[in-house]
Amino acid sequence: MVVAGRFSLPGSCYTGTMPISLAYSVDADDAFMFHALRAGDVDTRGLAFTHRRGDTSELNALALAGEIDVVAISAGAYPAVAGKYLLLPHGASVGRGFGPVLVARQPMALAELAGRRVGIPGLSTTAWLVLRQMQPGLLPVVVPIAPFGRIFECLDAGSIDAALLIHEGRLIYQSRGYARIAEIGQWWQATTGLPLPLGVNVIRRGLGAETIAAVSAVLRDSIAYALDHRDEVIRVLAAEKRGEPALAETALLDRYLGMYANQDTRAMAPDVRRAIEVLFERAAKGGLLPAGCPIDWAP
């Protein structure tokens, strides 16, 4: 276990452990990249991280309130919080020809869902932002991702006509007998020629440049540790109880993390940065987001 060092701001009388609040989702890729911080496997440079986990919609709301120092949010939620947060250049979840999936109990065309109820993980999620570009006129019903199985229960009960699945849900819907209606990442890549930026990490501007740089370096180290000790971290994540037996299968975790916790997570590639710009531009053109969102990057 690494012992945290002392943190000192030049010109300040403060020396000691500086608290940094961190919030991220219940899914495996977020747990993967922040594992080393929780386990004490990286030098925190005198920063004391507190950990809070929640569903995607809740995290987007926390960032909107500006209450947390570092938050893992939906890429599509960033314009609403850009005044308070910088984008971090690491920690992204990116779909390269894949992404969230829209499923139903029976096969149907996407156009058939116009005017019908679709269960979504949150109104501020990237998945919903892109799906509205694919098919206007859908009626959203917010179904939080925790507990994990709730979206399937709603689908089976008929309270929704289709379900927009993010995180590990996209890997198990076939085993439950659901039909895929649309693959969001495939549509995005075919339309834009770019990967789909789904999740990003943001850091509060009010921390100041020096602290932001220090926090960013620690988070980068945590991600690097997980990627360099991948099998070890997967075994730890498999032992977590998340209310769904399939989520504890190492084979599923390995596949899922291969999709969403990889070199795109280690560092934001140029095409991903461009994809974020295009995501906001297209959404603004369609009246789904305000135009002119500033995209400011932390070091």
Catalytic residue list: 167
How many Å apart are CA 60 and CA 77, to the nearest integer? Answer: 6
Are residues 221 and 149 located together in one domain of the fold?
no
**Is the domain of 201 the same as that of 90?**
yes
pLDDT of residue 134: 97
Q: Considering its fold, how many domains does the chain have in total?
A: 2
Q: What is the pLDDT of residue 265?
A: 97
Query: Do both 43 and 83 map to the same domain?
Result: yes
Rg (CA), the chain: 19
Query: What is the residue-level pLDDT of the chain in tens, covering all 299 positions?
Result: 333 333 333 333 333 489 999 999 988 999 999 999 999 999 999 999 999 999 899 999 999 999 899 999 999 999 999 999 999 999 999 999 999 999 999 999 999 999 999 999 999 999 999 999 999 999 999 998 877 789 999 999 999 999 999 988 888 898 899 999 999 999 999 999 999 999 999 999 999 999 999 999 999 999 999 999 999 999 999 998 776 777 788 999 999 999 999 999 999 999 999 999 999 999 999 999 999 999 999 99
* ω into 144 cis (within 30 of 0): no
Domain boundary among 172, 192, 212: 192
Say yes or no: 25 and 159 in one domain.
Answer: no
Task: Report yes or no on 297 lying in a domain.
Answer: no
> What pLDDT is stored for residue 5 in this prediction?
37
- From 192, 224, 259, give the residue that closes a domain: 192
Which residues form the domain of 143? 101-192
pLDDT of residue 230: 97
Same domain, 32 and 178: no
147 and 23, same structural domain? no
Whole-angstrom Cα distance, residue 191 to residue 206?
37
Last residue of a domain, one of 177, 192, 207: 192
- 205 and 155 part of one domain: no
Same domain assignment for residues 16 and 86: yes
